[in-house]
Amino acid sequence: MDFFSAHQSHVQKYLTKSQILTLQLLIWLLQTQKDVRIERLASCLPIPILYESRRKKIQRLLISSSLSLSLFWFPIIKSIVEKEFKRSERLILVLDRTQWQDNNVFIISVRWRKRALPIYWLVLKKKGSSNIREQIAIIKPVLKLFSHYEVVILGDREFHGIELSYWLKQRNKKAKNPIYFAFREKNNIYLRRSRKNQERFKNLKLVPEVKVLHKNVKFTK
């Protein structure tokens, strides 16, 4: 998929020729250098100007309002998804957060051919887990963007709180298409079938690739 030729008219609507060239070079450098540091990218940027000028050129592009996620990226990722997925298909959305040095990046992606295509992301101004406010902030615009699809939201143990589950259930009641979700639980959680029948997850002896369905149960610490 040639990104720029496929979305040429949209890209030209928001970026100048100089910005488009810089963005093309940055994408190429990210793939070849496998480094996201501006200093490293500036030193390799093949433009015949001083290093400091190259560094500032990259910075100006990255902070430009033209690269707004909602204005610039959302139409592109929506076009890609609609091309790759029929409306009758189900979208698998994946929540993830990574702490990379001082950068705490929270992202939601769509699973595609054993890969994840980023849809929306937030850089959290703190260390550690996301909270319910941040989780809703990243999911809500994506559900709106792909409201014509049935979706399943996956997440690890960070997202197992009852607040997010409740919010998604309420959202599902108003949605055009079903919204499902599955979040990983901690192994010290108790599975409660009745008042006298409780068992810890870690005692269920679950193994990879084996599916077990428990109906009408509750979770408690």
* Residue linked to tokens 């309420």: 170
Instruction: Please compute the mean of the pLDDT values over residues 156-162 and round it to a whole number.
Output: 88
Domain boundary among 32, 51, 66: 66
- pLDDT score for 3: 67
| Residue 134, amino acid | E
Residue 167 covered by a domain: yes
- Is 73 in the same domain as 142? yes
Q: The CATH number of the domain where 98 resides is what?
A: 3.30.420
* Residue linked to tokens 């009408």: 216
Task: Please report how many Cα atoms fall inside a 13 Å half-sphere around the Cα of residue 152, on the Cβ side.
Answer: 8
Weakest mean pLDDT among 92-101, 164-173, 209-218: 209-218
- Is 142 in the same domain as 176? yes
Strands 218-220 vs 197-200: parallel, antiparallel or unpaired: unpaired
- Is 92 in the same domain as 24? no
- Is 85 in the same domain as 127? yes
- pLDDT score for 198: 81
> Which residues, in sequence order, are CB contacts of 4 under 8 Å at separation 6+?
11, 20, 24
pLDDT per residue as tens digits for the range 36-48? 899 999 999 999 9
| Residue 29, amino acid | L
* Residue linked to tokens 């269920």: 204
- Is 156 in the same domain as 122? yes
pLDDT per residue as tens digits for the range 7-23? 888 999 999 999 999 99
Instruction: Please compute the mean of the pLDDT values over residues 150-172 and round it to a whole number.
Output: 93
Residue 58 covered by a domain: yes
- Host domain of residue 50: 3-66
